[in-house]
Structure 1
Amino acid sequence: MTDPDDIAALLGADGPFARELPNFAPRAAQQAMARAVAQAIAQRETLVAEAGTGTGKTYAYLVPALLSGERVIVSTGTKALQDQLYFRDLPRVRSVLGARVKTALLKGRANYLCLYRLDQTVREGATFDRAQAAQLAAIRAWSARTRRGDRMELAEVPEESPLWPRVTSTPENCLGAECPFYDDCHVVAARREAQEADLVVVNHHLLFADLALKQEGFGEILPGAAAFVLDEAHQVPELAGQFFSQSVSARQLAELAQDALAECHGVTGAIGTLLEPVEAVQDAVRRLRLALDPLPARGPFRELARQAGAGGALHDLREALAALADALAAQAERSRGLASAHERATALSLRLDRIAEEDAPQDVRWYELFPRGFALHATPLDLAAPLRAMRERTRAAWVHTSATLSVAGSFGHFARQLGLEDPLTLGLDSPFDYARQALCYLPPELPDPAARDYTERVLDAVLPVLEASDGRAFLLFTSHRALRRAAELLRERAPWPLFVQGEAPRHRLLEDFRASGRGVLLGAASFWEGVDVAGEALSVVVIDKLPFAAPDDPVLQARLDALEAAGVNPFMGWQVPSAAIALKQGAGRLIRDVHDRGVLVLCDPRLGTKGYGRLFLASLPPMPRTRALDEVRAFFRPVPAAATVGG
């Protein structure tokens, strides 16, 4: 079935979903989106569809995708969403439709156990502490029973365990068909399944890694599809920047050194040849990191060049890496592992030379520092051109959807970032009754956000709201410094359980917050999106400042300079639209289903004092606004029972 009207009708009041799924509510917006997606797939068109929270966009694209008779790739923003889509939503939709369609789930290779690397780690007999030894034993036991080899199955080994990088592979250290475990390889099995499937669920990281690799002439993981559906598409511009960048990191170099030495086991004389050049690379990495220490955490390459000693340390690293590549060349024929290490060293050496030397006008060259490492990057100034070329090569339909793609009703900013020329656009409002379910509170008399005591003043304004709601709140901050300061102040003043980002893994914070029933959670960037707490546990969302991107981002700064040179006002043309989309994401945490009620507290006084404030407010769901604390208190007062009769 491919008629768009027939497909929309399946989600209607007389369709199979209404008949078979308890709690399924037919929604006109969902049907309109399904119709548009079906048409885009059939006509190979580009569609941008903003679907407000509660539209049911997942079903709106899965139904036409499963019935299109075409091969479709669905890409999501995170691995967690990918699992939810594949293990929960997709089976339900397939079952209701009775669709006999082959589906597959494909993640990046770092998510799959590598039997060769596990075998190597066990053989090395490295001295692990007790916790890591127990984790390694758990991984070994699981390796004997798992069918997919997906790390997600093994909850008892934390995601951040240092053992995972040792028992998973990277494109650089994979031995390919020459691996002794090739026939049982989980990555190969997952890719084969994906190549044979009609609908493949991937994530944006994998999609872009594959499409960027394809551009460089490697084999493709995702064979030619007729349609790509990008959910959480607002994340695409930033992710695309990562994949069209050239990068070299201290971690990549450390792993190369470690793997080169590991591959010497059982190869006579190899360690004698390689130990010295490997140690020279390790030493050069340490010395460059030390030389960069006085610099800000990130910045343009010219700052690195100005720093005393950094230029020389970078030159020494390039020399040491080239020498290691030469030493590995002499050993490459002696084992597949050493040949792989040689290829990696050569590729990293060429990339490092390119980043260090080529001051190309179309690239932004920059560095970033981590507590014990660094990364050097060359990122394209304009992503529209490579993205456009990538889409044109696929000759497929491209559907971009999210709850936050427009700014005050316009899709221009999103389309410009992705190089979309005249896409079909569809704006679908949320079915939630914001006029009744929500209230937007703009606290009066707050100082300019640059004021030194701004966070203290925000908390003074917010505490009476939290008293009215009895906690049950998210406090979202645009900086970690403000978050830490707010946590300090609240510990002295708040009677509610506090959950602070950074003090436990995100998923545990959310579980504990839900279970507490009256908690207050403080979060920065990663809590502004992809976090879903429906029901009374979350009744207030506070946003401390308008989420303008950090001014220390060298790529952003270069883009703004380029816009200015082209005669575009960079503030109104880029910074305001990007911040408006981010604000919509944060505000979207508040109302997650038809029974939710809550108050959105926007603290930034610029919403009322600056002309662009109107653009931010016009981008939010249509909820009543107030500057009166009494109205907030009234919102949270219990409704007398008599008043609810018949309502």
Structure 2
Amino acid sequence: MSKVTSQFQADGVLARTLQGFRPRAAQSEMAAAVERALVKKSQLVVEAETGTGKTFAYLVPVLLNDGKAIISTGTKALQEQLYHRDLPALRDALAPKKMVALLKGRANYLCLHRMNQAVAHSGEMSKELQGQLVEIRKWAQRTDDGDVGTINILQEDAPILPTVTSTVDNCLGRDCPDYEDCYLVKARKRAMDADLVVVNHHLFFADMALKDVGFGELVPQADAVIFDEAHQLPDIASQYFGEAVSSRQLQELAHELKVLYLTELKDLRQLDKAADKVLGSLNDWRLVFPKDPMRGNWRQFSQQPAVRLAADVVAEHLTFLREVCKSALGRNQDLDNAYERCVQFLHKWEQLQDVSRTGYSFWFETTARQVTLHQTPLSVAEKFGGYLERSEMAWVFTSATLAVGEDFRHFTEQLGINHAETLCLASPFNFAEQALLCLPRYLPQPHEREMPAALLDIVEQVIDHNQSGGTFVLFTSHRMLQLIAKQLENKTDRPLFVQGSTSKRELLQQFIAAGNGVLLGTASFWEGVDVRGDALRCVIIDKLPFASPDDPLLQARVEDCRLRGVDPFAQVQLPQAIIALKQGAGRLIRDADDRGVLIVCDQRLVTKPYGGVFLQSLPTMRRTRDLTVALDFLDTLENSE
């Protein structure tokens, strides 16, 4: 027995430091595999189902191993949970001398220079923004790390935050007058000096793709990289190996230059005029797109004469702005920085107008006020896989959902992982006793008009039979969510929590506190949500989570499969949907004592040949086609309290 696996025994360190710890063979097996990968500097891919204890299965070997390690999580919330909740006691027990650091993206840290700029022209702000700025300045006097996520008095999306944080584009770097006091610089220094750094996937790939100048040295310094929630990596990596430019970035640049004219360069009237021209052309640019927020195929959409004309006008005014900035170079550091950004934005803008290049998906997304153009590579396997081959590091990829059945190829081929050990670890939970899967009979097909009414009827019946427990209703579209939410408001007096009404974190806290609430959510609630006990007894899924056929990245991947003579449904659409369903189903049983019902309202699970592949990938629960059986199961949970 190795030093690592001995920690997972009944008399090991985990039993001493974690309340309620029970030895689990799967957890010990995963820890041993992680230890091998760290020693050999090899690659490991592990699917560890809910209840395996995968977090501690990689933390223990990492803490006991020499060398620097990076742990990357799927979200900031998981990052904080790992750093503040899971790591401290374990580190104290196993490796008290190891230095541990938490590093977030730059937008999470107060920028002193931009805060001072905001104060200088606060007279032009609305009363709301002025009030928020006062709170920021008070908080700035007492913060140690500058993490704006700890400002409890402000909402997560408070409008003041973009004006007091920096972006890669507007950061002055070493030329900044506040460089010595910069919170981001201090956080990076702590990360460079630490033995273990906790980051998130977006930050990792920003670093790896060297988008953040002067910060690309963090990843090569490491001896090991552990990716938790690794199923998210292919899509996130694609974003960072592609290019994008948004009207918001261009608007922020123009607004910053207007502030510079008002405060520092009052004689440069041309600067104000040029910035106004850019802002005007960006407003016209938004108007050539449909009013409602959407995603679309930029290759096709860009062929419209009105769209091409509006894009040309934006380019023309950006060029004028660049020339005005160029004429005043050397007068002001912020202006010099803005000039560089203007040059880069113009280059990207022109690049994204050329949609004839192959190997990329060209797409756009809009919000009520913004448009973002994207160029995303169809495959990152060559780039990322090449990086793995060249590096002399250990790489561990883990998640509760990576395999289709026990086949990892869908995941490994997307990332170019060619030489990994793979491991599939089943959950220690007794799903056959703890959970029931119901596929109700006689439902309409998902696309039929009768489906919303049928779904609403099932939700109402479940709520009636699950009086003292909580219910999740997970949707694949916002449209269906809003439709059901609107009707449900008038049909139940139970606490109702609808995604979008407040932040995800707040919504979840309210749901757990209620104890018998009903939460309606889409994509972000299908994963990374941990509700234990009676607060969640039933999960209802409206339909199989196939990606929308209108999704431009999916369209491009499908087209690429056809060109290669491969079946796009089997290669792309089906595996993605199976992994998404496994994530959604994984919300139900989170603990050895949890019990509950999973209801999937999609007849295709039993009428289509591929339905069997979905079912094989789910935990082995008892199954029924009779909704009454599921409701009776919920009744037994009510009566057993």
> Which residue number in structure 1 is paired with residue 349 of structure 2?
352
- Please state if 1:28 is matched with 2:5: no
- Please state if 1:320 is matched with 2:313: no
Aligned residues: 640
Q: Deviations over 1:162-187 (max 9, x none)?
A: 10000000111111111111111000
Q: Secondary structure at the match of 1:306?
A: coil
> Which residue number in structure 2 is paired with residue 102 of structure 1?
99
Q: How does 1:224-235 map to 2 (within 5 A)?
A: 224-235=221-232
Q: Distance in 2 between matches of 1:407 and 1:585?
A: 12
> Which residue number in structure 1 is paired with residue 295 of structure 2?
298
Pick the aligned partner of 2:524 from 513, 523, 526. Answer: 526
> 1:639 and 1:272, CA in 2 relative to 1: closer, same or farther beyond 3 A?
closer
Q: Distance in 2 between matches of 1:29 and 1:304?
A: 51
- Please state if 1:204 is matched with 2:205: no
Q: Secondary structure at the match of 2:599?
A: strand
Q: Secondary structure at the match of 1:118?
A: helix
Between 606-615 and 22-31, report the one with greater CA deviation.
Answer: 22-31
Aligned amino acid, residue 446 of structure 2: P
- Please state if 1:636 is matched with 2:620: no
> 1:464 and 1:70, CA in 2 relative to 1: closer, same or farther beyond 3 A?
same
TM-score by length of 2: 0.96
Pick the aligned partner of 1:183 from 180, 186, 200. Answer: 180
Mapped contact 1:359–1:365 kept (Cα < 8 A) = no
- Please state if 1:580 is matched with 2:587: no
Q: How does 1:12-411 map to 2 (within 5 A)?
A: 12-213=9-210, 219-269=216-266, 271-293=268-290, 297-357=294-354, 359-411=356-408
Cα offset, 1:269, TM superposition: 4.8
Q: Secondary structure at the match of 1:416?
A: helix
Quick one: percent identity of the two aligned structures? 47
Q: Deviations over 1:263-291 (max 9, x none)?
A: 33554455313112111111111111112
Mapped contact 1:67–1:99 kept (Cα < 8 A) = no
> 1:630 and 1:140, CA in 2 relative to 1: closer, same or farther beyond 3 A?
same
Between 192-201 and 419-428, report the one with greater CA deviation.
Answer: 419-428
Mapped contact 2:109–2:183 kept (Cα < 8 A) = yes
Aligned amino acid, residue 521 of structure 1: L
Q: Secondary structure at the match of 1:82?
A: helix
Mapped contact 1:267–1:334 kept (Cα < 8 A) = no
Q: Secondary structure at the match of 1:213?
A: coil
Q: Deviations over 1:14-53 (max 9, x none)?
A: 2122133321111111111111111111111111111111
Aligned amino acid, residue 493 of structure 1: K
List alignment gaps of at least 5 residues for structure 2: none
Mapped contact 1:406–1:413 kept (Cα < 8 A) = yes
Pick the aligned partner of 1:595 from 583, 587, 593. Answer: 593
- Please state if 1:627 is matched with 2:625: yes
Query: How well do the aligned residues superpose, as a CA RMSD in angstroms?
Result: 2.0
> Which residue number in structure 2 is paired with residue 567 of structure 1?
565
Mapped contact 1:54–1:431 kept (Cα < 8 A) = yes
Aligned amino acid, residue 196 of structure 1: D
Aligned amino acid, residue 366 of structure 2: L
> 1:569 and 1:534, CA in 2 relative to 1: closer, same or farther beyond 3 A?
same
Pick the aligned partner of 2:472 from 471, 474, 477. Answer: 474
Q: Secondary structure at the match of 1:23?
A: coil
Q: Deviations over 1:324-345 (max 9, x none)?
A: 1121112221111111100100
Aligned amino acid, residue 74 of structure 1: I
Q: Secondary structure at the match of 2:221?
A: coil
> Which residue number in structure 2 is paired with residue 608 of structure 1?
606
Cα offset, 1:11, TM superposition: 1.4
Pick the aligned partner of 1:444 from 436, 441, 444. Answer: 441
Aligned amino acid, residue 188 of structure 2: R
Q: Distance in 2 between matches of 1:442 and 1:255?
A: 50
Cα offset, 1:458, TM superposition: 1.6
Q: Secondary structure at the match of 2:268?
A: helix
Q: Secondary structure at the match of 2:472?
A: strand
Q: Secondary structure at the match of 1:332?
A: coil
Q: Secondary structure at the match of 2:184?
A: helix
Q: Secondary structure at the match of 1:637?
A: helix
Cα offset, 1:629, TM superposition: 2.8
Mapped contact 2:360–2:556 kept (Cα < 8 A) = no
Cα offset, 1:398, TM superposition: 1.0
Cα offset, 1:125, TM superposition: 2.0
Cα offset, 1:393, TM superposition: 4.0
Q: Deviations over 1:501-521 (max 9, x none)?
A: 112222222122112221111
Q: Distance in 1 between matches of 2:445 and 2:67?
A: 54
List alignment gaps of at least 5 residues for structure 1: none
Q: Distance in 2 between matches of 1:18 and 1:550?
A: 46
> 1:159 and 1:576, CA in 2 relative to 1: closer, same or farther beyond 3 A?
same
Mapped contact 2:471–2:517 kept (Cα < 8 A) = yes
Q: Distance in 2 between matches of 1:275 and 1:557?
A: 42
Q: Distance in 2 between matches of 1:279 and 1:109?
A: 28
Pick the aligned partner of 1:535 from 524, 533, 536. Answer: 533
Cα offset, 1:67, TM superposition: 1.3
Mapped contact 2:404–2:578 kept (Cα < 8 A) = yes
Q: Distance in 2 between matches of 1:357 and 1:129?
A: 40
Cα offset, 1:191, TM superposition: 0.5
Q: Secondary structure at the match of 1:147?
A: coil
Mapped contact 1:534–1:593 kept (Cα < 8 A) = yes
Aligned amino acid, residue 608 of structure 2: K
Aligned amino acid, residue 28 of structure 2: Q
Mapped contact 1:304–1:311 kept (Cα < 8 A) = no
> 1:127 and 1:453, CA in 2 relative to 1: closer, same or farther beyond 3 A?
farther
> Which residue number in structure 1 is paired with residue 513 of structure 2?
515
Q: Secondary structure at the match of 2:364?
A: strand
Q: Distance in 1 between matches of 2:255 and 2:637?
A: 65
Aligned amino acid, residue 364 of structure 2: Y
Mapped contact 1:384–1:419 kept (Cα < 8 A) = yes
Cα offset, 1:307, TM superposition: 2.7
Mapped contact 1:47–1:425 kept (Cα < 8 A) = yes
Q: Distance in 1 between matches of 2:430 and 2:185?
A: 48
Between 328-337 and 383-392, report the one with greater CA deviation.
Answer: 383-392
Mapped contact 1:298–1:369 kept (Cα < 8 A) = yes
- Please state if 1:490 is matched with 2:488: yes
Cα offset, 1:489, TM superposition: 2.1
> Which residue number in structure 2 is paired with residue 503 of structure 1?
501
Q: Distance in 1 between matches of 2:544 and 2:571?
A: 16
Q: Distance in 2 between matches of 1:54 and 1:126?
A: 55
Q: Distance in 2 between matches of 1:296 and 1:636?
A: 39
Q: Deviations over 1:456-475 (max 9, x none)?
A: 11222333233222262000
Mapped contact 2:605–2:614 kept (Cα < 8 A) = yes
Between 258-267 and 572-581, report the one with greater CA deviation.
Answer: 258-267
Between 292-301 and 20-29, report the one with greater CA deviation.
Answer: 292-301
Q: Deviations over 1:342-371 (max 9, x none)?
A: 010000011111111252112222222211
Between 491-500 and 78-87, report the one with greater CA deviation.
Answer: 491-500
Q: Distance in 2 between matches of 1:305 and 1:128?
A: 36
Cα offset, 1:217, TM superposition: 9.1
Q: Distance in 2 between matches of 1:438 and 1:358?
A: 50
Aligned amino acid, residue 114 of structure 2: R
Aligned amino acid, residue 107 of structure 2: A
TM-score by length of 1: 0.95
